[in-house]
Structure 1
């Protein structure tokens, strides 16, 4: 219960369609995977194509995790610190390297912001989609 004039906050789940729509509007997320027996998180640039998350990688821990067939997760959010509201979406699923033909057929290419070679294009296919929105009423 809130006091008169105070803010009432709501934390509600997002349906999968809304979660994927929000995710598709973004370009930067946190990619999680297992490395050396524990969780590891790196920032990646991505695009969403036909419900799949597409990003580029080089020779790195991500490539090693991909080779082991590990499950990946990508988390993205939009937060308003002024109103203390926002949303978060996490997708989890298997990932695979796309062939040159598959990459050429993509309607949009992932465009890494950081320097360095990232010749491999990876497709994460969401099997689990989680999203929540934090809103406020005055």
Structure 2
């Protein structure tokens, strides 16, 4: 992709490939999107993209420059925490009764800690207990936002100890965690980050 978004594959990178992968014709895609089929044809037309790029003198190869390639950039702790602070969906990883386990969970960030909800007796409740007073389970927690079309995005990995929130701590820990799944999810778990790393894929 050039720095102005034109590509040899059309005005929208990966549009035709994704449409074909879903088994859609141009007509079917146009009907699903509620747009004229001519719009889809234009967006997928490589020659149109090339003509517009030449008219604007934006093609990297015509300027004698090499097309930009995606670059993997490391993120510092502050940026990692900023990215995950809105909450949403993350993945908790741990070693449980049946071996290595990774599960998607709803989460929020509260006072620098990651808070999740679960059901009493569930996997993330029973598995994540050491059985030793004052000894907490060590877990990994991952959040990412990826765009397959542009091949860009970021991921953050948090490692830390998991604490089962007591009744006295409940009000502070709840922090508006809204689980997608139904059920009586009154068990709150809090992950205190000890090691935070992240990466971002950028272009241009």
Normalised by the length of structure 1, the TM-score is 0.89
User: Structure 1 residue runs of 4+, over 4 Å off?
Assistant: none
Alignment equivalent of 2:159, drawn from 92, 95, 102: 92
Gaps of 5+ in 1: none
Report what 2:123 is aligned to: 61
**Structure holding more strand per residue:** 1
What's the CA shift for 1:64?
Answer: 2.2
> Which structure carries more relative contact order (alpha carbon 8 Å, separation 6+)?
1
The alpha-carbon deviation at position 110 of structure 1 amounts to: 1.1
- Count of paired positions: 135
3-state secondary structure, aligned to 1:103: helix
**Which has the larger share of helix?**
2
- Matches of 2:66 and 2:184, distance apart in 1: 54
Matches within 5 A, 1:10-21: 10-21=71-82
Contact 1:28 1:46 in 2 (8 A): yes
Question: Displacement, 1:22?
Answer: 0.2
2: distance between equivalents of 1:40 and 1:83?
30
Any unmatched runs of 5+ in structure 2? 1-60, 131-135
Alignment of 1:1-138 (within 5 A): 4-36=65-97, 38-58=99-119, 59-68=121-130, 69-106=136-173, 108-137=175-204
